[in-house]
């Protein structure tokens, strides 16, 4: 009997810790700086309202509406993220050699979390890496899908 009660309590606590949807309003944004030019390689953001904001490397800014599928993708990534377990920085001690510096700000239901890293960061958790790749990684990402529209 005690084992059954413990199992039920464990399942309830796991279910309570993972929400099926992130708190709204939410917004995920990445800003960059540094690199050889010192200007980074652009900025990208998406919010619960479906607005995508891109600033390309050259400085041109654009705003687009995400598709329902794209918005749902980010809602799922955010709902599965364990932001409370993330470090504030994944920058190694040696920032050497013109690497691009990234800062991601996640705002969810009035709570803000910031994380920074550089090209070739310290190991990052899988849930954080998934959001980073969806925002600015290889295709498909906000950077690759919408960045070309801003040129």
Span 23-150 CATH architecture:
2-Layer Sandwich (3.30)
- What DSSP element (H or E) covers 130? helix 126-136
- What DSSP element (H or E) covers 142? helix 142-147
Predicted confidence at residue 91, as pLDDT, reads 96
* Residue appearing with tokens 């939410």: 26
Q: What is the dihedral of CA 116, 117, 122, 127, to 10 degrees?
A: 70
Write down the pTM of the prediction. 0.82
CA 126 – CA 20 distance, rounded (Å) = 18
**Domain boundaries in the chain?**
23-150
User: What are the average pLDDT values for consecutive 10-residue runs of the chain, which has 151 residues?
Assistant: 40 49 95 90 94 88 92 96 97 89 96 95 96 89 77 65
CA 111 – CA 109 distance, rounded (Å) = 6
CA 77 – CA 130 distance, rounded (Å) = 7
């Amino acid at each position: 009997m005690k084992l059954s009660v413990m199992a039920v309590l464990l399942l309830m606590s796991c279910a309570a810790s993972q929400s099926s949807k992130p708190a709204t309003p939410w917004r995920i944004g990445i800003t960059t700086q540094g690199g050889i030019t010192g200007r980074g390689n652009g900025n990208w953001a998406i919010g619960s309202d479906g607005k995508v904001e891109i600033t390309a490397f050259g400085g041109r800014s654009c705003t687009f509406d995400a598709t329902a599928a794209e918005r749902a993708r980010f809602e799922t990534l955010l709902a599965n993220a364990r932001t409370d377990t993330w470090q504030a920085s994944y920058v190694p001690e040696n920032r050497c050699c013109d690497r691009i510096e990234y800062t991601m700000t996640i705002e969810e239901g009035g709570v803000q979390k910031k994380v920074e890293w550089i090209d070739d960061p310290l190991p990052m958790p899988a849930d954080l890496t998934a959001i980073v790749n969806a925002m600015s990684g290889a295709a498909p990402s906000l950077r690759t899908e919408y960045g070309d529209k801003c040129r």
